[in-house]
Amino acid sequence: MIVKISGKLVEKKEQSVVLQLQGLYYEVMVPQSVLKRIDEGDPGGDELELITYHYLQVGQSSAMPILIGFLNEVECDFFQQFIKVSGIGPRAAVKAINRPISEITQAIDTGDVKMLKTLPGIGLQRAKEIVAKLQGKVSKYGLIQDQVPATVESRDTPDWQDEVLDVLIQLQYKKPEAMSMIEKALNLNESINTTEGLLNEIYKQKVKS
């Protein structure tokens, strides 16, 4: 299974990119929300590394391997949660995720069916199924920001707090901002003692702000 690919970005298409790697050219499908971030980073002609979801598209007489690319593992993880919804396959999910993942996550958590059914290929019934399947299970993805990740340094804190810092940095927060969010959440709720609990508290504070 191919879990990561890195190569020279030679072409951008409507819903995919082409990477050149050691004389071979790989086409990788990419959601619109990720393509926009690639455009903003403008790595044209430079090396581009993508975390990939790899699956076989099975036809009547053949099977074709498909790669779907993301800029980090958190985006890929959200994608794998999204395709757990009945009737949403990998290709449909690539098409549907044309808005920032943080916006989609907030719509799921608040039960905003009206917003979800504006996503390409998602009708009213499918939007309701997304909420029913994922509401309350994808909160941490609502913390994603479009910023350059900071480098994680060691800190004299409990392991579960370090894990939260790592997650926030993967979600594109700068380290000082992530540390401030952690401190605020712990001050507001001193009973927190797990990674998931701290992430949920941070998300609640973000929604309130």
Mean per-residue pLDDT of the chain: 87
Does the pLDDT of residue 93 top 60, yes or no? yes
The answer to whether the CB of 19 falls within 8 A of the CB of 7 is yes
Among 142, 166, 188, the domain boundary falls at 142
Look at residues 45, 70, 95 and tell me which one is the last residue of a structural domain.
Answer: 70
Number of domains in the chain: 3
Among 94, 122, 142, identify where a domain stops. 142
Q: What does the pLDDT look like over 32-81, one tens digit per residue?
A: 999 888 877 654 458 899 999 998 887 767 788 899 999 999 999 999 99
User: Coil, strand or helix: which one is 198?
Assistant: helix
Do the bridges between strand 47-58 and strand 63-70 make them parallel or antiparallel, or are there none, so unpaired? Answer: antiparallel
Structural domain of 10: 4-70
Position 48: which residue type? L
From the centroid of its chain, how far is CA 76?
5
Maximum separation of any 2 CA atoms in the chain, in Å: 60
- CA 206 to mean position of chain CA atoms: 18
Question: Cβ contacts of residue 43 below 8 Å, gap of 6+?
Answer: 9
pLDDT digits (tens, 9 = 90+) for 103-156: 999 999 999 999 999 999 999 999 999 999 999 999 888 888 643 344 344 445
